[in-house]
Amino acid sequence: MNIVDLNNVTKKYFINKNKEHQKVLDKVSLNIQKGEIIGFIGANGSGKSTTIRAILDLIRIESGKIEKNTKSIGYLPEKTKLYKDLTGREFLSFVSSLNTNSLKRSSVIDLLERLQIQNDQEKRIKNYSKGMIQKLGFVSALINDPELVILDEPLSGVDINAREIIKDIIKEFSKDGKSFFITSHNMQDIADLSNRIIKIVNGRIEFNGLAQEYFYDLNQTYRIKYLKENVVSEVVADESSLSESLQGLKEKKYKLLNVIKIERSIL
């Protein structure tokens, strides 16, 4: 049984006083299954956060159906509005008081330590840095031990080390059966994490399939580095245009430096 099922969900927003509207979600159908990590991708304004708000009943949809087979959903919004006057500790205990389920205290401390915000628990959130707020929001999305965790750009503003730690934590929880629905503009992070990719373009689902299919079925891509008037330059070519590009550089007498196969065509 799916944890979440969206069937032909349509959402419109009025864009001016003449009641003209924009279809932000156009018959969106998708599902989330137990234990999977879904990378939900798409350009700015394509409808990712709107889809998430619809799943969480934060907005009213015009038509379609949303079915949920769980009450426990953790959520990290894209714009975290944490209660600024609370300390980190107060905020986490407030969030955990909203639900009967919760992670063990030792697991929460472990998460805070791994994310290196354990020593900041007595600080008020208004004095947290951007990355610290993001990390605290991430822990708050997990604290009630939900079956499904929805993370809207969890890695934005987070440093390289913390990024890897957050990704490890997500993978560990997913092994224990939690489902994750994650948006990110960083394709490397999406590739590292996701079992399944769902891509939305202008409010329509354009791809919904295994991550391997998404990343490996595209043409192989190559990055060609060369010297042009003593400046290192590069072009990207796919399988079909590689020899043509190399020939072009040779004709212009540019010195070829190297050709790197980009393992995953994620650029």
Ligand X SMILES: Nc1ncnc2c1ncn2[C@@H]1O[C@H](COP(=O)(O)OP(=O)(O)OP(=O)(O)O)[C@@H](O)[C@H]1O
Nearer to Mg ion, 78 or 238 (CB): 78
Please say which residue, 20 or 251, places its beta carbon nearer to ligand X.
Answer: 20
Angle between helices 130-142 and 105-114 (to 10 degrees): 150
Per CB under 5 A, does 186 bind Mg ion? no
Q: Which is nearer to Mg ion, 49 or 179 (CB)?
A: 49
Residues within window 29-48 making contact with Mg ion, judged by CB under 5 A: 48
Tokens of 201: 């373009």
Q: Which of 188, 151, 199, 197 is nearest to 173 (CA)?
A: 151
Minimum CB distance to ligand X, residue 55 (Å): 12
Residue 24 interacts with which of Mg ion, ligand X, none, CB < 5 to 8 Å by class: ligand X
Instruction: Give the residue with the Cβ less far from ligand X, 76 or 165.
Output: 76
> Could you tell me where the DSSP H helices lie in the chain?
48-55, 88-97, 105-114, 130-142, 160-175, 187-193, 211-216, 242-251
CA-based nearest residue to 63, from 112, 36, 28, 99: 28
Write down the least CB distance from residue 138 to ligand X, Å. 17
Residues that bind ligand X (CB under 6 A): 13, 24, 42, 44-50, 78
Residue 90 as a binder of Mg ion (CB under 5 A): the answer is no
Tell me if 179 contacts Mg ion by CB under 5 A. Answer: no
Nearest distance, CB of residue 75 and ligand X, angstroms: 14
Q: Of these, 5, 36, 78, 238, which contacts Mg ion (CB under 5 A)?
A: 78
Give the SS3 label for residue 182. strand
Measure the CA–CA gap between 146 and 72, rounded to whole angstroms.
5
Of the pair 49, 134, the CB lying nearest ligand X is at 49
Separate counts of helices (H) and strands (E) for the chain: 8, 12
Closest distance to ligand X from the beta carbon of 262 (Å)? 24
Select the residue interacting with Mg ion from 26, 30, 47, 49 (CB under 5 A). Answer: 49
Contact residues for 119 (Cβ-Cβ < 8 A; gap 6+): none
| Least gap, CB of 45 to ligand X (angstroms) | 4
Give, for 191, the enclosing helix (H) or strand (E).
helix 187-193
